[in-house]
Copies of this chain bind each other. A is one copy, B any other.
Amino acid sequence: MDKLNLDAHISQQFNEELEEIRNHVMTMGGLVEQQVADALDALVNGDSALGQRVVRDDDKVNRLEVAIDEECNRILARRQPAASDLRLVIAIIKTITDLERIGDEAEKIARLAMRLAEMERPANNYIEIDNLGNRVRAMLHDALDAFARLDAEAAVAVASEDARIDREYESIIRQGITFMMEDPRSIRRMLDMMWAARALERVGDHAKNVCEYVVYLVHGTDVRHVSMEEMEREIRRGR
């Protein structure tokens, strides 16, 4: 595997700067994971106060994005990194954009949770949303882990989870439509449930994007818009 030259800098301080930015990305990732988890809890347990907190805390996510973005710009301007260092900075600029958008989706879910908390609870306690949400949370966690360890093989494995999430999402939508048609009084509630499912599905898309940046970062190959098969081939070739 193409070894990153993170340790090979003449300037120890530059190393430390890069390391610090990576730590900030992990902090932002942890916050975004928490936001998704809390938004899901708020929805499944009808906890409006928790929903409110998620909405309020989205600002923290946004501020972290702006701060990390500025660090990246400063590094590009002052250090003029090359090769894998440059790829790291570009991958970070892209990753934080996706993390910020995940934060936006968590906020959307939290707002839906607050609205759903006022409505009748379904017999199954939103078990299907809970299942989808937990799958999405695991995927996001693993994507951030692959980023932290710069592990391209893990990133490819995580990215392949997205197809399963899409299938689970489609199935929730189909069930929701059936439910609406059987009981038109449930339409508003079912729609909010579907919007929440869609938001979770999009979190999965963003987690997949992060995985693609990890592959790009480690291998220097752009694997966006290629099939999972091609992505795996690319990884094998890189070994």
Contact = CB atoms under 8 A, between A and B. Distances in A.
Contacts of A235: none
A42 to B, nearest CB: 22
A167 interface: no
A73 B87 CA distance: 8
Interface centre among A59, A65, A87, A180 (most CB of B within 10 A): A180
A45 interface: no
A181 interface: yes
Contacts of A177: 187-188, 191
Interface string A49-87: 000000000010011011001100100110010110011
Interface in A87-139: 87, 90, 93-94, 97
Given A80-B80, A180-B184, A86 B66 contact: no
Interface in A180-221: 180-181, 184, 187-188, 191, 194
Interface residues of A, number: 30
Contacts of A97: 94, 97
A113 to B, nearest CB: 18
B222 A66 contact: yes
A224 interface: yes
A194 B83 CA distance: 45
Given A69-B222, A76-B90, A80-B80, 20 more contacts: A62-B224, A62-B225, A63-B225, A65-B225, A66-B222, A66-B224, A66-B225, A73-B86, A73-B87, A73-B90, A77-B82, A77-B86, A90-B93, A94-B97, A177-B187, A177-B191, A180-B180, A180-B184, A187-B187, A191-B194
Interface of A: 59, 62-63, 65-66, 69-70, 73, 76-77, 80, 82-83, 86-87, 90, 93-94, 97, 177, 180-181, 184, 187-188, 191, 194, 222, 224-225
12 contacts: A62-B224, A63-B225, A65-B224, A65-B225, A66-B222, A73-B90, A76-B76, A76-B86, A77-B82, A90-B93, A184-B184, A187-B187
